[in-house]
Amino acid sequence: MPWCEPCEKYLSPNAVSVVGTCPKCGERVEDKDGQPADSQKIPWHFWVFVGAALIYLFWRLIQGLGFLFT
């Protein structure tokens, strides 16, 4: 659970910004073990989407090249 020292309260992991700062005071938020909070990890389905997009673009590239050479 991320803990904001200036606000003296726990933040929900989703409330912590991407760079690990408090949305209220902008201070860096730390986890209970003293590590900077990095609660907003990139979700796995983002990479599924990126992979699908890359495959699609690759496929379109192949199609485009095939069109050029036929």
Closer residue to Zn ion (CB): 26 or 51: 26
Q: How far is the CB of 16 from Zn ion (least distance, A)?
A: 10
HSE toward the beta carbon, residue 36, CA cutoff 13 A:
11
In the DSSP assignment, the letter for residue 14 is G
Q: Which is nearer to Zn ion, 4 or 37 (CB)?
A: 4
25 neighbors 4 (Cβ within 8 angstroms)? yes
Q: Which residues sit at the interface with Zn ion, rule CB under 5 A?
A: 4, 6-7, 22, 24-25
| Encoded amino acid at 29, one letter | V
Based on CB atoms, which residue is closest to Zn ion, 25 or 53? 25
